[in-house]
Amino acid sequence: MIKKGLLIVISGPSGAGKGTICKKLLDANSNIKASVSATTRAPRVGEVDGKNYFFLSKENFEELLSLDEFLEYAEVYDNYYGTPKKYVLENLNSGNDVLLEIDIAGALQIKEKFKEGVFVFILPPSMEELKKRIVGRGTESEADIKKRYGAALEEISQVIKYDYAVINDDLDRALADVEAILRAEGCRVNRLYEDIQSRF
């Protein structure tokens, strides 16, 4: 019996460091696959279909949408973006875990359709640190920084809708937390029940 993989959904405000955690998680665990989104926007130079995105026509995307083939989707500036169910389920069924780094709106859509998912929110250690990290990018105006900071606080207020919160005050510790969450979720009785019944 192949043990089904876990879908781990990671969100968090900009400045929380979720991108780095996800990258490290994928690098260190070959059984975790990054989810690949579908989009109707045109490929950019160097982007590979099926790797960076699944590039779809608008008609194709809408057909899949009508067939409930997305775990979540959004329309942004006249283009669709979405998470195809098929890619995720195929990986889970073959025993891989699937990692999905996504904004809160997307995560909450997934939670409705796929409640077996593991929902993790990455947090910066403090407001001061959050501000420092946003400023530290050095690419934005004062007004943009203020806006981004306000948006981050608003996002953090949504943490209660997630299963787990990882406070990223130390990258290695945060990574170990996420890995422990995956390992522990693999021991959840409701996930193991069939396996246990088959053993006894």
Stretch that binds a second copy, among 50-58, 62-70, 108-116, 151-159 (CB under 8 A): 151-159
Task: Check if the beta carbon of residue 31 is closer than 8 Å to that of residue 5.
Answer: yes
The SS3 of residue 21 is helix
CB contact at 8 A, 99 and 181? no
- 131 interacts with a second copy by CB under 8 A: no
Distance of alpha carbon 86 from alpha carbon 70, whole angstroms = 8
| Closest by CA position to 154, among listed 25, 13, 35, 16 | 13
- Using CB under 8 A, pick the residue from 27, 44, 66, 200 that binds a second copy: 200
123 binds a second copy (CB under 8 A): yes
Identity of the residue, 105 or 180, whose beta carbon is nearer to a second copy in the bound complex:
180
What tokens were used for 172?
């290695």
Contact 34, 97 (CB under 8 A): no
Binding segment for a second copy among 18-26, 65-73, 137-145, 149-157 (CB under 8 A)? 149-157
56/120 with CB nearer a second copy: 120
Binding residues for a second copy, rule: CB under 8 A, are 120-121, 123, 125-127, 153, 156-157, 159-160, 162-167, 176-177, 179-181, 183-185, 187-189, 192-193, 196, 199-200
